[in-house]
């Protein structure tokens, strides 16, 4: 079980650790946006958790990540705490909310996967590293 504070903290640390990452707050103090070479790969909402809102998946801490469509569909179907991307293209983005099924490994793997997808779509000359080499 990972609560909202642990989810936000882990996501912030993990996303910031990748090469060539820039962190900003274009949507306000409670939303951290992580980009690699100008392309978003993670959005971490660190809003204080409202228990009623968290239960409806409408508020509280949330991590939104890029994901390949078949993988996104599978995750949303299998993991109760993985939902279609909040305010994003539901086919290419997922959001993770706090829950019993959220583990450190899941969060770290999905953030790494999102980073790799975005890097792989960059022109080869602009890539900070080759995702296949990781």
Residue 59 Cα distances to 1, 31, 53, 63, 96, angstroms: 18, 12, 5, 11, 12
Band (2; pLDDT cuts 50, 70, 90): confident
**Residue 3 and residue 99: Cα distance in Å, rounded?**
6
Which element (helix H / strand E) includes 21?
strand 21-24
Mapped onto helix, strand or coil, the DSSP state of residue 45 is strand
How much is the mean pLDDT over the chain? 87
Q: Are 120 and 131 in contact (CB under 8 A)?
A: yes
- Domains, the chain, in order of start with CATH, read 4-126 (3.90.1150.30)
More confident residue, 115 or 132: 115
pLDDT at 90 over 50: yes
pLDDT at 57: 47
List Cα–Cα distances, 92 to 4, 50, 69, 76, 122, in angstroms.
23, 27, 5, 12, 16
pLDDT score of 31:
92
CA distance 42 to 32: 8
Q: How far apart are the C-alpha atoms of 14 and 112, rounded to whole Å?
A: 8
CB-based contact 31:45 (threshold 8 Å) = yes
Confidence of residue 58 (pLDDT cuts 50, 70, 90): very low
| Both tokens assigned to 50 | 């409202």
How do residues 16-48 score in pLDDT, each as one tens digit?
999 999 999 998 888 999 999 999 999 999 876
């Amino acid at each position: 079980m990972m609560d909202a504070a642990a989810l936000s903290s882990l996501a912030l640390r993990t996303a910031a650790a990748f090469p060539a990452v820039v962190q900003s707050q274009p949507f306000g103090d409670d939303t951290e946006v992580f980009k690699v070479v100008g392309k978003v790969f993670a959005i971490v909402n660190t809003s204080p958790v409202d228990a009623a809102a968290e239960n409806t998946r409408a508020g509280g801490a949330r991590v939104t990540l890029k994901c390949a469509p078949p993988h996104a569909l599978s995750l949303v179907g299998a993991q109760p705490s993985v939902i279609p991307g909040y305010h994003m293209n539901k086919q290419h983005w997922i959001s993770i909310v706090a829950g019993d099924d959220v583990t450190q490994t899941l969060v770290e793997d999905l953030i790494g996967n999102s980073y790799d997808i975005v890097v792989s779509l960059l022109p080869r000359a602009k890539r900070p590293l080759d995702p296949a080499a990781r």
